[in-house]
Amino acid sequence: MITIIGSGKVGGAAALFTALRKVTDEILLLDIIQGLPQGEAMDLNHMLSEKGIDVNIRGSNDYSEMKGSDIVVVVAGSGRKPGMTRMDLLKINTSIIKGVAENIKKYAKESIIIPVTNPLDPMAYLTYKVSGFQKNRVFGMGNMLDLSRFVQFIHESTGYSRNSIRALVIGEHGENMLPLPRYSTVAGIPLLSILSRDKIEAIVQGTRQVAAKVIELKGATVHAPGNAISTIIEAVVRDTKQVMPVATYLDGEYGYSDVSIGVPAVIGKNGAEKVVELDLDSGEEEWFKKGIESVKSAISNLTI
């Protein structure tokens, strides 16, 4: 069973995309708002019935119902509003996530936890610390969402099929994220040999800023994060060993410790099974360090 805590737009989208991938028989939507998860579950089940997909989605306001969950996705908390940064949500969401992590520890102690709530990296760290789980069993979604945006900008700039593009974004899920053109290709051809440096820099900046634009235009990001969550879930359930960037706890990797931040990791049935350490050049290392410092600053303000 897969549990999604938080039944708003992103939680509902995550349930939808996960059901469409047919990686589980049952999805539980949990929320403190009476009626919301139940109504969302009904709506999704009606859609799945027409599609002939036998995944049962149910809603609840009772944390105890997540007993036996294999994966718990945490989307609970306040989302970004126009003009807000992800870090603006730190104080608002800290107490919420602490309570959620305590309930996961109580009722789903064998699960893998995928935090999604912003600010993503500090909330992934908080979830890891409060849950007491092994570090491979707690990793956040952030850079998988950033990656989807980076790929779209590469697609728009080159005109080549999205299916031909392989790209990578690491670091903080925020203004200090690190898109990596040097590790990005189109049909195996290095991106650096296809686009000018000015064009690549514009793509990088666009990737960092586009979430705020989406929020300004429609109020929230929904479909891309929902899909990113389901991509990670599928890698765990199917044990694909896919390398993807997730916010995981570092214990010496990349030269840093006691911080959760986005890095490439092998994702399989045991969660983030291995961190893949890249050889970063001086410019990349500088941006990665900015993200580390930003996340550590936020962590220093947490009460755990």
CATH of the domain at 16: 3.40.50.720
Residues 254 and 107 occupy one common structural domain = no
Are both 99 and 234 inside the same structural domain?
no
234, 21 contact by CB (below 8 A): yes
For residues 104 and 153, state if they share a domain: no
> Tokens for 200?
């690549």
Q: What is the pTM of this model?
A: 0.94
173 is catalytic: yes
Same domain, 149 and 279: yes
Domain end: 118, 142, 166, which one? Answer: 142
> Tokens 């593009």 sit at which residue?
165
In a shared domain, residues 116 and 157: no
Q: Which amino acid is at 167?
A: A
Q: State whether 197 and 129 are in the same domain.
A: no
Angle at 224 between CA 233 and CA 112, to 5 degrees: 20
Number of domains comprising the chain: 2
Whether residues 102 and 200 share a domain: the answer is no
> How much is the average pLDDT of 36-50?
98
- Count of CB atoms situated within 10 Å of the CB of 265: 22
Verify that 196 and 294 share a domain, yes or no: yes
Instruction: Indicate the pLDDT class of residue 143, thresholds 50, 70 and 90.
Output: very high
- The predicted pLDDT at position 84 comes to 66
What's the pLDDT at 91? 83
Per-residue pLDDT of 184-242, as tens digits, reads 999 999 999 999 999 999 999 999 999 999 999 999 899 999 999 999 999 999 999 99
Q: How confident is the model at residue 140 (pLDDT cuts 50, 70, 90)?
A: very high
Residue 296 maps to which CATH number?
3.90.110.10
List 261's β-bridge partners, or say none. 248
pLDDT at 301: 86
Same domain, 96 and 201: no
Among 107, 142, 177, the domain boundary falls at 142
Give yes or no: residues 185 and 293 share one domain. Answer: yes
Domain boundary among 110, 125, 142: 142
Nearest to 82 by CA among 214, 224, 223: 214
pLDDT digits (tens, 9 = 90+) for 4-19: 999 999 999 999 999 9
Share the mean pLDDT of the chain: 95
pLDDT in tens, 73-131: 999 987 767 776 666 788 889 999 999 999 999 999 999 999 999 999 999 999 999 99
The pLDDT tens digits for 53-76 are 999 999 999 999 999 999 999 999
Q: How does pLDDT run across 153-176, given as a tens digit for each residue? A: 999 999 999 999 999 999 999 889
| Residue 180: partners with Cβ closer than 8 Å, 6 or more residues away | 167, 168, 169, 170, 278, 284
HSE on the CB side for 273, CA within 13 Å? 13
pLDDT value, residue 86: 62
pLDDT at 268 over 90: yes
Q: What is the pLDDT at residue 187?
A: 95
| Phi, psi angle pair for 166, to nearest 5° | -125, 125
Are residue 99 and residue 186 in the same domain, yes or no?
no
Per-residue pLDDT, 302: 86
Q: For 219, list phi and psi in degrees, rounded to 5.
A: 95, -25
Instruction: Give the structural domain span for 209.
Output: 143-300
Residues near 210 by Cβ (< 8 Å), separated by ≥ 6? 149, 153
Question: Are residue 59 and residue 198 in the same domain, yes or no?
Answer: no
